[in-house]
Amino acid sequence: MLEIENLHVNVGGNEILKGVTLSIGAGEVHSIMGPNGSGKSTLAQVLAGNDSYEVTEGSVVYEGSDLLSMSVDERACAGVFLAFQYPAEIPGVSNTQFLKAALNAVRRFRGEESLDAVDFLALVEEKRKVVQMDTSFLKRSVNEGFSGGEKKRHEVFQMALLEPKMVIMDETDSGLDIDALRIVSDSVNSMRNQERGFLVITHYQRLLNYIVPDFVHVLVKGKIVKSGGKELALDLEAKGYTALSHGKSPAVAGVGSN
Amino acid sequence: MLTVDDQIGAYVEAFGRRQKQMSAQDRWCDSLQEAAMNRFVELGFPSAGDEDWRDTRLEHITNTAFCLAESDSSNCSEATVASHGFPGLESTVLVFVDGHWNPDLSSTTPMSRGVYIGSLAVAIDINREQVEPHFAQYANGQQDSFAALNTAFFDDGLFVYVPNNTVVDRPIHAMYISSASGGEPAMAHPRNLIVVGQSSDVTVIEDYFSLGDQKHFTNTVTELVISRNARAAHYRLCRENQNAISVTTLRTRQSQDSNLVSHSVMTGGQWIRNNLHNEFTGSNGTSLLNGLYVNRRNQHVDNHMVVEHAAAHCSSRQVYTGILDDQASAVFGGRIIVAKDAQKTDAKQSNRNLLLSEAAQINAKPQLEIYADDVKCTHGATVGQINEDAVYYFRTRGLSEPAARALAVYAFASESLGRIDLDSIRANLTRTILAQLPHGELIEEVV
């Protein structure tokens, strides 16, 4: 459902991604691991449509459409969802207002009716329990004063509410304690199905004990240097990234994709 | 174009005509009005060199010969009043059309337990002992040309008198309607006096709007006296037509342990000068001065604030927020004066502005004059653009770019709207403001 081909991306004149090729099929969970500065977050932002990142070469096709020519909100409405590493804090807009605006925008795009206040709150209540967020968060401003863990749970909560098809998670595990990690992972696992694809970006193997990926890719200096199954993550945890960055030729990207 | 001398002359003539018409009456305030007229002639209009008027030009007033508005209630009906009310707000409604009281359109209020809510002109005749000790005692008609002009020309306005230990349950909604239809550009000088007795409580909404589109000039003065341990909430809603010129003055005096909440919301008008002078004369007083201006086209709004701490242990909060689009311009002049004996004063002032276009302008001038040595005073003015991180975040959740921008702009105003605790007014103002924001209609269903 998502075909990334030879993607080159510049940020402020520096080339950060240097030819990334990756194919994610429906129902698959792919994980991208890599050291700091390898370009993981850049990949996530480019897929979401952040215009401070300049694509200089390559293509991204999402469900048969040219993703790179779609606007940020077109991508979101078409089902691409980015769970941010650092979600924006937005004083002055309550979570209720924000979530309602987002849900209705996505529903209208899908040709569904806007939800009225009662149905909206019922749906929020149902999803809220999954991520175990307190009801008081609805009245608070979007992400304002949220702890790191609350922000991440809020991202996952939005994912559950909007039901996207292609989920990109940018270091959702960072800043989470073990309990929160389990809550977040359970939510993600409950959303895994044959139609939905996941791209899980993480530093650490720990998250992958909870969200078990089908494929693991290692991104180093803007290139995927190795791809494999879930055991690759364990291998990395044992040997570190540096073993991969020296001398080894890149493995065939997109192993096992369809 | 009129010379300034011609302009002053026109007011002198208008005053003369007015005196002839009123010569049958003989009221104790006549001499005050005459003295005020003389003072206005001496003062003239503020000049460009006047520091308090540095960034606001007076041409909109001095270039037009405004005539004194006749009471023209013909196009003002119960339907007019109903359509400008706030649904869900149970209020006592007082209606003034072109500066004149309209008793037929006003609520008939039983004045129980010594409460007076009604016409100032009537009170001047029948309740002199309540009016005289306060009338023209606080607004500075000696130095301020517009206060002098108001005193000279006022015909009527709101008088509220709340005796000690009395809570007025219903908010008082005073409508100042300018008919603004046909004839010469008109002027009106509504004059209001609100006296709140000890341990009493009242809410007054001053609501200014026009029916037609014609240019008109409203110059209003309100004196608000809050006695010991009393509380007053005051709203000033400026929603006149896009050619309207207005000078609004609120002068407050707070005694010991009193509390004031003031809201000024400026969404209409062509040119507004909003003067607010909040004075503490007793200790432990508190005030919150909340302001919101949302302006576009070539609207100009000048908020001129003075907070005067003349007594110790008082706390004041000024929070003025502005959103400016197109060629709109605004001025925020905020002065905090802390007298020598006003120790432990806690005064905060903040002015935040969001500029939505290259041509929009804000001039902010915070000023602190502190003569006491044990005080906490802060001020800050910010000018910013739309929060692009918020816009991007909203868009990644499916909001279109115009909707995301509208929501990010609304976010800037919402804190100020949130301070308004009368739900029906807050809801109404939110609609008004959305209607003025680019693509505000796109977020109507969520805010």
| Residue of B392, B407, B411 with shortest CB distance to A50 | B392
Tell me the mean pLDDT in the region B256-283. Answer: 98
Question: For residues A45 and A75, is the Cβ–Cβ distance under 8 A?
Answer: no
Tell me the mean pLDDT in the region B118-130. Answer: 95
Kindly provide the b/e burial profile for residues B27-52, where b requires at least 16 CB atoms within 10 angstroms of the residue's own CB: eebeebbebbbebbbebebbeeeeeb
Which residue on chain B is closest to A101 by alpha carbon? B446
Q: What is the pLDDT of residue B22?
A: 80
Residue B75 above 80 pLDDT?
no
CB contact under 8 A, A158 and B400: no
CB contact under 8 A, B398 and A91: no
Question: What number is the ipTM of this complex?
Answer: 0.94
Which residue on chain B is closest to A83 by alpha carbon? B396
Outline where DSSP puts E strands in B227-270.
Answer: 231-239, 245-254, 259-266
CB contact under 8 A, A92 and B394: no
Report yes or no on B315 lying in a domain. no
d(CA B317, CA B360): 26
B257/B402 same-domain check: no
Residue B72: pLDDT band with limits 50, 70, 90? low
* Helix pair A178-191, A148-162: axis angle to 10 deg: 10
Contacts of B390 in chain A (CB under 8 A): 88, 90, 93, 142
Best mutation target among B407, B446, B447 (most A Cβ atoms within 10 Å) is B446
Q: What is the pLDDT of residue B111?
A: 67
- Which among B348, B299, B346 is positioned nearest to B322, based on CA atoms? B299
Consecutive H or E run containing B410: helix B401-418
Q: Where are the alpha helices (DSSP H) in B362-400?
A: 388-395
Q: What is the pLDDT of residue A204?
A: 84
CB contact under 8 A, A92 and B392: no
CB contact under 8 A, A93 and B410: yes
Query: What are the phi and psi torsion angles at B345 (to 5°)?
Result: -70, 140
Per-residue pLDDT reduced to its tens digit, B274-332: 999 999 999 999 999 999 999 999 999 999 999 999 999 999 999 999 999 999 999 99
Tell me the mean pLDDT in the region B61-68. Answer: 89
Kindly provide the b/e burial profile for residues A225-250, where b requires at least 16 CB atoms within 10 angstroms of the residue's own CB: bbbbebebbebbeeeebeebbeeeee
Q: How far is CA A54 from CA A16, A32, A77, A166, B141, in A?
A: 10, 21, 22, 22, 63
Question: For residues B261 and B288, is the Cβ–Cβ distance under 8 A?
Answer: yes
CB contact under 8 A, A49 and B396: yes
Question: End of a domain among B282, B300, B333?
Answer: B282
The secondary structure of B176-195 as a DSSP string is EEE---SSSPEEE--EEEEE
- Which among B209, B336, B207 is positioned nearest to B280, based on CA atoms? B336
Q: What is the pLDDT of residue A248?
A: 47
Q: What is the pLDDT of residue B337?
A: 97
B108/B234 same-domain check: yes
How far is A51 from chain B, CA to nearest CA, in Å?
Answer: 9
B441 interface with A at CB cutoff 8 Å: no
Show the tokens assigned to B349. Answer: 């002032």
B395 interface with A at CB cutoff 8 Å: yes
| Residue of A76, A92, A98 with shortest CB distance to B412 | A92
CB contact under 8 A, B399 and A49: no
Residues 6+ apart with CB under 8 A from A14: none
B392 interface with A at CB cutoff 8 Å: yes
Question: End of a domain among B247, B282, B317?
Answer: B282
Residues 6+ apart with CB under 8 A from B29: B124, B135
Q: What is the pLDDT of residue A245?
A: 60
Report yes or no on B186 lying in a domain. yes
Give the pTM. 0.91
Question: For residues B301 and B331, is the Cβ–Cβ distance under 8 A?
Answer: yes
Per-residue pLDDT reduced to its tens digit, B5-45: 788 888 999 999 988 888 767 889 999 999 999 999 999 99
Q: What is the pLDDT of residue A133?
A: 86
Residue B109 above 80 pLDDT?
no
Which residue on chain B is closest to A161 by alpha carbon? B397
The secondary structure of B26-89 as a DSSP string is --TTHHHHHHHHHHHHHH-SPPTT-GGGTT---HHHHTS-PEEPP---TT--HHHHHHTS-TT-
d(CA B417, CA B263): 9
Which residue on chain A is closest to B386 by alpha carbon? A90
Report yes or no on B140 lying in a domain. yes
Show the tokens assigned to A254. Answer: 């997109």
Per-residue pLDDT reduced to its tens digit, B351-360: 999 999 999 9
Q: Looking at domain A2-245, which of 3.40.1440.60, 3.40.50.300, 2.102.10.10, 2.40.50.40 is its CATH number? A: 3.40.50.300
Residue B261 above 50 pLDDT?
yes
Query: What are the phi and psi torsion angles at A83 (to 5°)?
Result: -85, 115
How far is A251 from chain B, CA to nearest CA, in Å?
Answer: 32
CB contact under 8 A, A91 and B411: yes
Contacts of B440 in chain A (CB under 8 A): none
| Residue of B395, B398, B407 with shortest CB distance to A93 | B407
Q: What is the pLDDT of residue B173?
A: 97
Question: End of a domain among B221, B255, B282?
Answer: B282
Low-confidence ranges of chain A (pLDDT < 70): 244-258
| Residue of B389, B398, B446 with shortest CB distance to A106 | B398
Q: What is the pLDDT of residue B2?
A: 67
Best mutation target among B294, B395, B441 (most A Cβ atoms within 10 Å) is B395
Q: What is the pLDDT of residue B344?
A: 97
B433 interface with A at CB cutoff 8 Å: no
Look up the domain containing B435 and give its range.
388-447
User: Which burial class, exposed, middle or buried, applies to A195 when counting CB atoms under 10 A from its CB (0-12, 13-18, 19+)?
Assistant: exposed
Residues 6+ apart with CB under 8 A from A204: A173, A237
Q: What is the pLDDT of residue B1?
A: 59
Residue B74 above 90 pLDDT?
no
Q: What is the dihedral of CA B48, B223, B204, B113, to 10 degrees?
A: -170
Which residue on chain B is closest to A78 by alpha carbon? B398
Domain count, chain B: 2
How far is A151 from chain B, CA to nearest CA, in Å?
Answer: 13
How far is B259 from chain A, CA to nearest CA, in Å?
Answer: 26
| Residue of A93, A102, A114 with shortest CB distance to B411 | A93
